[in-house]
Amino acid sequence: MASKSATEPARATRAASRSHTKKLAELTCEKIEMKIIEMDWPVGRVIGSEAELLAEYGVSRAALREAIRLLEHHNVAYMRRGPGGGLVVAEPDPDAMAHAAAVYLRYRKVSPRALFEARTALEVAAVRSASENIDEAGIRKLRDALDHEAQFVGGESDATIHDFHIVVAELSGNPALHLFINVLTQLSAADFLGATAMFDKKAARSVESSKQVEEVHRTHEAIADAIVAGDAALAQHRTVRHLNALAAALDS
């Protein structure tokens, strides 16, 4: 049997090799991501077979496969097997990204008050942009969201009372506002409804009282009216008042 002192150098060598492979994989992942960005993110395009990527990036098979695993985890690209296969550019899922960010902020124990401070700053910007840029398609989307919300009030829909804010963020036309408001709204909903209701809309309906839901729905209608009228100042005022009321409810 080999002595402990004899096996330690071998273990150290294997650990160093794994660390080197990991670093190469991370660098290769970053290079492929930059290539996809420079190509203007061509969703669905095959950017290379495994053999072609090995030749292009000059790394080991183990490092390339780890890089591909990272790309798949980040929802940047995925490997398609078989004839005509290769590394395919994916379309990132904003909901998955929002969920991951929400989990991280929950882990960091961000307070409800801090969440609403951030939400207020972002949503004020979102309603201003939505008010300034609203068109007929946007008006229909806003009205559809309110109609769906009204069904939730009556217990007939799988929407939640918080979805309105995400729709307004989308109508801002700013993908960054849409993403981050989605994240913060998920967390705010969890604070009101409990962590399980954050992902269970039936639980949400059972937790929120009918009176509270109806009041929030009327407030959303008032915000929507200001957006449709193109009155950014009024929409911002009503949004700030609404979010302050929600934050106060959490503090009580």
Mark the ranges of the chain whose per-residue pLDDT is less than 70.
1-17, 154-159, 192-210, 252
Quick one: tokens of 177? 């506002």
Nearest-CA neighbor of 25 among 67, 55, 83, 61?
67
Quote the pLDDT of residue 9.
58
Report which DSSP code applies to 155: T
Quote the pLDDT of residue 192.
64
Q: Identify the bridge partners of residue 88 per DSSP, sorted by sequence position.
A: 46, 78
Domains and CATH numbers, the chain: 4-89 (1.10.10.10), 94-251 (1.20.120.530)
Residues near 145 by beta carbon (within 8 Å), at least 6 away in sequence: 163, 164, 167
Cα gap 209→212, rounded to integer Å: 5
The residue count of the chain comes to 252
Quote the pLDDT of residue 6.
55
Question: Do the beta carbons of residue 229 and residue 172 sit within 8 Å?
Answer: no
Quote the pLDDT of residue 188.
84
